[in-house]
Homo-oligomer: A and B are copies of this chain.
């Protein structure tokens, strides 16, 4: 069964059809994929096949507007192996080539801007070198951002909660957690050790007791971070990255007014990486005869 090369409408039809097949398959005890694919097809996935298998499980997919598009390669190319990661760095591309995996599923942009516009900075030499490197190794890159956040539970949030051993404190679709009361310092140490972070930046009193946590991995932007803080009045806001002049200054002032709110900045890449690690674990059982491997793009910084 070939799924590639279809228009969005066609994919929606296929997706609906697969869901129906999946429902039937559920009754028969086989996976939706197995119900649709003949045994000989199992090792013959195209990039489009993989995307369709994933999108079946995303509510409302495919989206009319999304940044989750192919950034290199072709939907019709045969997949030799899959890498999940946060950022398709040059090192990740080289590692994928070494592993003979030609499909990278990455949470964040490849070309340093949200829409992956290669002309964002005119004549960008590094963009050109990266495009050439991807082409040289025949590697397809799919951004998997909006869809993974739309999964229920949110794929990133779920990965982070699992990594932190905090699944029991979260509710699907919500960013607020209720944890057993503990001082801020203990939360900092817990995240540093469970997510293996070099270092974090904090605004707050380390002895302050916390139990209501707003967990916002990645870069939500100041407006959404401050809105979450104002609306939920958490004891601590845990984020990936901030605009310092927005969220950080808001927290500094709130604290000066005696509000019981702190901020922990984990770093963007490391704050969401567990969600892309979980993607590999989530995707592997849906496929046969092909390897899905997570490689962490990791913290880019030295802290000096």
State the A residues within 8 Å of B (CB). Answer: 87, 89-91, 94, 108-109, 112-114, 120-126, 129-130, 188, 192, 199-204, 206, 219, 222-223, 226-227, 230, 240-241, 243-254, 256-257, 259, 265, 267-269, 300-304
Contact = CB atoms under 8 A, between A and B. Distances in A.
Nearest to A87: B249
Contacts of A246: 112-113
Given A112-B245, A243-B241, A300 B252 contact: yes
Contacts of A222: 112-113
Given A90-B257, A240-B244, 14 more contacts: A89-B256, A112-B222, A112-B245, A112-B249, A126-B250, A192-B304, A200-B304, A202-B304, A203-B301, A219-B243, A241-B245, A244-B267, A244-B269, A252-B300
A257 B303 contact: no
Given A199-B303, A203-B301, A244-B267, A89 B226 contact: no
Nearest to A255: B90
Contact of A202 (B192, B219, B301): B301
Contacts of A200: 303-304
B248 A301 contact: yes
A172 to B, nearest CB: 26
Contact of A268 (B87, B230, B245, B256): B245
